[in-house]
């Protein structure tokens, strides 16, 4: 329905009513077109995200073709059981330990025992005298004090060390679900083409495998993809987050408070402000170069931990967690400052005036009235900035993250690896299994980021409710 006002003959310089009405249709068409344009852009964004998730999930689960070096049925039969009724998992603890003893070299066995003992009251690989000696040494291994292994632990060891499954081919999730028989054909074709010269076709069997699984999260890095995990990488990333927060939060929030609450608009302060904004846009690789030059090289006595000890330093160079953490802290700092500034600026001036008019000092007002109101914003901004830093790869490569490391980081001055480094390394390998591992590690990294973001949202909601 169209509404039309009568013409007013006096207003000659105005467009006529019909002109207005004619324009209205065009304006509305433009509005609709713009709305659909925005919707289309949103669709593209959602599709891009969905593709990303699809790629990662697709590689993290799926069918695999496995060849066991030792057939578990054969192993069970060798122990004198009927493989029809008994599986390897049903075998007793003592027999499993016996299997390890028979199949593992004494060096590996001693290492396993030092990590964790098999029995409370007796030793399997080590002799009593040496054991007593290493346990009374300055740094006794974990096996001296930790509780002995249990059945499932030893069963996993037997699988890894005795059965030794070898993944000869893997298949992504979606084709595994849609047409698994293609994979079987591919494996059979692979055998015919002589791609698996070490094995017979009848040895291979196909099963489902979740590359992302609890064991994957809790086992250290390994060069065999079947047993490799990301525990070292997760711990390394956790250490990095800790040091990044310890550095960037006090420095960043302190600087932001000064700039918002105290700094007068002088030319110097404007200059500083502009530079902070620019620093937030500096590529992360540049921060990596800075970290390498400053933290790894110049501050080596500090970052290698040498200045805290008179004896052997914890690390023989500065390529340690603390150097990388400080680099990521620097990278995060401008974003933390800017988001904290925004949070502080959003606190109305009326609160500052109220505090000061009561005879409170600037700091009393800031501490008791301004920071509590700005806190949710500061926390959210900080956590998002740290979450961003967790995924950074380039600066860590420059600062010297170790790509292959199987021992957990022991403190801020130890060598380390991190999740993005692990993913980067695995994707650069040619074998498909490592790509599956990289995808699974990406799932872990994404979950870590989601957790951090969820923490940000929870904190924000909690504190903003309290402030009301």
Partner 1 sequence: MTNETSTENKIESAIGERMTTEPDRPGQAVPATAEVPGVIETKDMSVFYGDFLAVANVSLNFGANQISALIGPSGCGKSTVLRSLNRMNDLVATARTEGEVHYHGQNIYAEGVDPVEVRRTIGMVFQKPNPFPKSIFDNIAWGAKVNGFKGSKTDMAGLVQEALEAAALWDEVKDKLQESGYSLSGGQQQRLCIARAIATKPDVILMDEPCSALDPIATLRIEELMMELKENYSIVIVTHNMQQAARVSDKTAFFNVKLNDTGMRTGRLVEYSPTEQLFTSPKEKDTEDYITGRFG
Q: Tell me how far, at minimum, the Cβ of 467 lies from partner 1, in Å.
A: 5
CA distances from 357 to 237, 350, 351, 374 (A): 47, 10, 10, 20
Residue 355 β-bridge partners: none
Smallest distance, Å, CB 459 to partner 1?
17
- Cβ-contact 244, 256 below 8 angstroms: no
65 DSSP β-pair partners: 169, 206
Q: Is the dihedral of CA 455, 291, 256, 341 positive or negative?
A: negative
Closer residue to partner 1 in complex, CB, 315/369: 369
* Residues near partner 1 (CB under 8 A): 264-265, 348, 350-361, 364, 368-369, 372-373, 467-468
Gap between the Cα atoms of 336 and 379, Å rounded: 9
Residues 6+ apart with CB under 8 A from 385: 248, 332, 335, 336, 339
Which of residues 107 and 265 has its CB atom nearest to partner 1 in the complex? 265
CB of 297 or CB of 462, closer to partner 1: 462
Supply the minimum distance, in Å, between the C-beta of residue 373 and partner 1: 6
Which lies closer to partner 1 via its Cβ, residue 28 or residue 364?
A: 364
Nearest distance from C-beta of residue 461 to partner 1, angstroms: 16
Joined tokens for residue 451: 């957790």
Evaluate whether 436 touches 176 at the Cβ level (below 8 Å).
Answer: no
Closest approach of Cβ 346 to partner 1, in Å?
A: 13
The nearest distance, CB 377 to partner 1, in angstroms, is 14
The sheet with strand 61-68 has its strands ordered as: 165-170, 61-68, 204-210
- For partner 1, the closer of residues 290 and 373 by Cβ is 373
User: Min. distance of Cβ 260 from partner 1 in angstroms?
Assistant: 13
The CA radius of gyration of the chain, in Å to the nearest whole number, is 31
> How many whole angstroms separate alpha carbon 190 and alpha carbon 175?
18
Of 2 and 350, CB closest to partner 1: 350
Q: Please, which residue, 298 or 467, has the CB nearer to partner 1?
A: 467
- Compute φ and ψ for 158, nearest 5 degrees: -65, -45
Nearer to partner 1, 312 or 357 (CB): 357
- Cβ contacts of residue 343 below 8 Å, gap of 6+? 374, 375, 376, 377, 378, 381
Any residues with CB less than 8 A from the CB of 14 and at least 6 apart, and which?
none
Distance in Å, CB of 366 to partner 1, minimum: 12
8 A C-beta contact, residue 206 and residue 182:
no
**Of the candidates 201, 230, 235, the residue with the CA atom closest to the CA atom of residue 216:** 230
Query: What tokens does 85 get?
Result: 């009724």
Kindly tell me which of 285 and 351 has the beta carbon lying closer to partner 1: 351
Strands (E), 7-112: 61-68
Instruction: Name the minimum Å distance from CB 358 to partner 1.
Output: 4
CA 3, CA 376: separation in Å to the nearest integer? 50
Say whether 201 sits in a helix, a strand or coil.
Answer: helix
* Residue 13 or 350 having the CB closest to partner 1: 350
Nearest distance in Å: CB 381, partner 1: 20
């Amino acid at each position: 329905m169209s509404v039309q006002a009568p013409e007013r003959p006096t207003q000659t310089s105005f467009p006529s009513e019909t002109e207005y009405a004619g324009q209205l249709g065009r304006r509305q068409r433009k509005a609709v077109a713009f709305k659909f344009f925005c919707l289309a852009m949103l669709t593209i964004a959602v599709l891009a995200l969905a593709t990303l998730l699809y790629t990662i999930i697709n590689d993290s689960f799926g069918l695999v073709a496995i060849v066991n070096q030792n057939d578990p049925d054969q192993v069970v039969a060798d122990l004198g059981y009927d493989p029809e009724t008994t599986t390897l998992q049903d075998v007793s603890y003592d027999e499993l330990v016996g299997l390890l003893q028979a199949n593992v070299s004494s060096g590996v066995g001693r290492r396993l025992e030092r990590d964790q003992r098999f029995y409370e009251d007796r030793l399997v690989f080590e002799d009593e005298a040496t054991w007593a000696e290493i346990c009374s040494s300055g740094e006794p291994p974990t096996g001296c004090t930790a509780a002995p292994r249990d059945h499932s632990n030893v069963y996993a060891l037997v699988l890894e060390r005795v059965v030794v499954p070898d993944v000869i081919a893997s298949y992504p999730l979606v084709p595994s679900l849609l047409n698994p028989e293609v994979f079987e054909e591919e494996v059979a074709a692979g055998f015919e083409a002589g791609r698996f010269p070490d094995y017979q076709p009848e040895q291979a069997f196909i099963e489902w495998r979740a590359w992302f699984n609890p064991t994957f999260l809790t086992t250290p890095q390994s060069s065999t993809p079947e047993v490799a995990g990301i525990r070292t990488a997760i711990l390394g990333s956790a250490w990095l987050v800790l040091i990044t927060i310890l550095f960037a939060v006090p420095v960043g929030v302190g600087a932001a408070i000064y700039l918002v609450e105290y700094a007068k608009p002088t030319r110097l302060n404007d200059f500083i402000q502009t530079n902070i904004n620019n620093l937030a846009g500096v590529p992360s690789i540049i921060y990596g170069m800075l970290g390498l030059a400053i933290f790894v090289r110049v501050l080596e006595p500090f970052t290698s931990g040498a200045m805290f000890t008179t004896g052997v330093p914890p690390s023989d160079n500065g390529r340690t967690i603390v150097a990388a953490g400080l680099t990521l802290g620097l990278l995060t700092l401008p974003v933390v400052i800017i988001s904290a500034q925004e949070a502080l600026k959003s606190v109305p001036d009326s609160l500052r005036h109220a505090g000061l008019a009561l005879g409170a000092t600037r700091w009393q007002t800031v501490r008791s009235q301004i920071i509590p109101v700005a806190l949710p914003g500061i926390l959210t901004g900080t956590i998002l900035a740290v979450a961003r830093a967790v995924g950074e790869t380039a600066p860590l490569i420059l600062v010297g993250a170790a790509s292959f490391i199987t021992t957990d980081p022991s403190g801020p001055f130890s060598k380390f690896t991190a999740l993005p480094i692990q993913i980067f390394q695995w994707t650069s390998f040619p074998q498909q299994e490592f790509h599956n591992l990289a995808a699974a590690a990406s799932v872990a990294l994404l979950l870590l980021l989601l957790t951090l973001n969820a923490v940000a949202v929870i904190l924000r909601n909690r504190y903003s409710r309290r402030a009301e």
